[in-house]
Structure 1
Amino acid sequence: MKDRRTFLKQSGILTTSALLYSGTGLSAMAQSEQGTYTHAAQKGSRWLDGSRLVVSVSMQFEAGGQPENAESPFPQNMQKGYKDLPAETWYQYGYREGIPRMLDNWDKLGIKVTSHMVGGAVLKNPELAKEIVQRGHEAAAHGMNWATQYTMPYAEEKKFIGDGVDAIRKITGFNPIGYNANWLRRGENTLKILQELGFLYHIDDLSRDEPFIQKVNGKAFVTVPYTLRCNDIQLIEGKNFSVDQFINQVKMEFDQLYQEAATRRRQMSISFHDRIGGTPQMVQATKELFTYMTNQPGVNFKRKDEIARMALEDKTTITE
């Protein structure tokens, strides 16, 4: 499997159009690699493709789009009028080291992820944003910046979401169909706006361990549930878990869902943030976890756009 340096050297000979999502299915590259960890269909599977358990990974691309003096591991005691320079370097780690290291890890593991991209971060690091898509991962929208979205009037929120989409599309050529609000805090109008803008799904929901459909503006709209239980910003930064604790918690979550998946449709979500999940220790932890998971029959890793489309196609998907 190529490492990042080799990929970057060779990527110039690849045509972007051959790698991007076509709008009607996965790209040729994604299709060719989709079955890397496909096992025989499980008896009693509730997924159309025969998976027993679907695992979906989020890779948040936020660093570079954060406001000045944003939340960080440093004490929040900066005097007014001064810039928190050490905290800025914590965010810089996300695009200088974190995402590149995670991209190599995903390649070694043979999986594709969904990258929730802040528009401002994409514009600040366009080559990295393009690389994520060129390596077969989904680009999903994550707002234009870290503004408080749920307080915005309808027109302002629609422009805010649209500006983020435009940044991703302009830089990567990928048309986002999935959305994640900052800290999941969408507003009363968010789903209506997303439906109007052509999105198929959002992830700002913790209520189930499987995708479900609801009617928005009279049309089917998918929720692909997110997670705080298997989320590095919640566990590593928020609760100061060690990597061993993180591994144990995620593994126990997997084991329970895998057991339930013998008779029910089950989806497991795991989330990594550029400046946290891309640290050397966390990448090692991820390698250990995902190797364990892929050794279990019927486990498949899928991008969230794949899950949303499969949910829409499946007439047995829960509809609210």
Structure 2
Amino acid sequence: MANRREFIKKSSLAGLAGVGIPLAAFTAAPQAKKGTETKSEGSKWADGSRLVVSVSMQFEAGGQPDNAESPFPQNMQKGYTDLPAETWYQYGYKEGIPRMLDNWDRLGIKVTSHMVGTAILKNPALAREIVDRGHEAAAHGMSWSSQYSMSYEEEKKFIKDGADAIREITGFTPVGYNANWLRRGENTLKILQELGFKYHIDDLSRDEPFITMVNSKDFVIVPYTIRCNDIVLIEGKNFSVDQFFSQAKAEFDQLYLESENRKRQMSISFHDRIGGTPQMVQTAHELIKYIQSHQGVSFKRKDEIAELALKDKTTIRE
């Protein structure tokens, strides 16, 4: 698999500005042939998968407000800029996403990248590269603003501006949405349906996709995670990489067991400046290789999961 430098060269992106623990103790012997989508007797997914894994890659760095939350003490005096914190965010687009993109290529999987409009406006070539490498571009608002407090028209413009930025920069029309910290408002789903979106992820209530009615039309929920999420576990709880691996592995093992008789989905989330560090990328590689060693597991973008849910008459409806 070509590395990122070779990809950029082939895609004529090199001249664009803005882009440049061994865990063997945890891994088990493969239970069957590596990652197959052959339909098993107990499969509940229409495409024959036994269990579907969905990976998120947040593209937020560069779009954060001044003096945004960071690993540094929140004690800056008013009127000054937290310069070290700025570099922590810069790491997300300078090192984090490029490293994760190479990792996804090595693993042969495609992911969903939730993109903040202001972040990709500052790094358009990187946003285009994500899509050019086969990943989904999903909307994540125009900025880090809390949309739940906005009026109907304000929120609609906020969502549309972010989606328009993705479309104009990458050529990809986003059909999925993720609100800042999952905090959507009372009008969010109605607005998303009006704007042509097919799904959102701001829901933790199930371990499989389901459908709700919005404006008298089907709208899909592709559940997100805070249990297998680097910003919650690594940054928020100061987990070590082996703790992150162990927790995510336990999540997979239980879901895989349940998937013998039920439709199951596992979600894993990585953020540009956290999940893109060397230690986390290595850990993600080991984790996904372990998951791929199980028969019937497939990795899918969230737009693909939404399409499957819409076409499957057995999808749960609420």
- Give the TM-score, by structure 1 length: 0.92
Tell me how far 1:12 sits from its aligned partner. Answer: 2.9
Tell me how far 1:11 sits from its aligned partner. Answer: 1.1
SS in structure 1 of the partner of residue 11 of structure 2: helix
- Corresponding residue for 2:29? none
SS in structure 2 of the partner of residue 270 of structure 1: strand
Of 37-46 and 209-218, deviating more is 37-46
CA contact (8 A) 2:37 2:50 kept: no
- Measured against aligned partners, the alpha-carbon deviations of 1:21-75 in whole angstroms (never above 9, x if no partner) come to xxxxxxxxxxxxxxx9433211121100100000000000000110000000000
CA distance in 2, matches of 1:275, 1:69: 15
- Corresponding residue for 1:7? 7
1:38 pairs with 2:3: no
* Unmatched 5+ stretches in structure 2: 14-33
- Corresponding residue for 2:89? 91
CA contact (8 A) 1:200 1:221 kept: yes
1:260 pairs with 2:258: yes
CA distance in 1, matches of 2:106, 2:204: 30
- Corresponding residue for 2:130? 132
CA distance in 2, matches of 1:149, 1:39: 39
Map 1:128-167 → 2, pairs under 5 A: 128-167=126-165
SS in structure 2 of the partner of residue 305 of structure 1: helix
- Measured against aligned partners, the alpha-carbon deviations of 1:223-277 in whole angstroms (never above 9, x if no partner) come to 0000000000000000000000000000000000000000000000000000000
CA distance in 1, matches of 2:283, 2:116: 26
1:110 pairs with 2:113: no
CA contact (8 A) 2:226 2:232 kept: yes
Q: 1:203 aligns with which of 194, 198, 201?
A: 201
CA distance in 1, matches of 2:140, 2:63: 10
- Measured against aligned partners, the alpha-carbon deviations of 1:147-200 in whole angstroms (never above 9, x if no partner) come to 111000000000000000010000000000000000000000000000000000
- Measured against aligned partners, the alpha-carbon deviations of 1:91-127 in whole angstroms (never above 9, x if no partner) come to 0000000000000000000000000000001100000
CA distance in 2, matches of 1:185, 1:81: 29
1:47 pairs with 2:13: no
- Corresponding residue for 1:243? 241
Map 1:154-233 → 2, pairs under 5 A: 154-233=152-231
Q: RMSD of aligned C-alpha atoms?
A: 0.9
* Unmatched 5+ stretches in structure 1: 14-35
CA contact (8 A) 2:148 2:183 kept: yes
Amino acid in structure 2 at the alignment position of 1:5 = R
CA distance in 2, matches of 1:193, 1:148: 15
Aligned length: 298
Identity rate of aligned residues, in percent?
Answer: 77
Moved over 4 A (4+): none
Amino acid in structure 2 at the alignment position of 1:232 = D
CA distance in 2, matches of 1:144, 1:12: 28
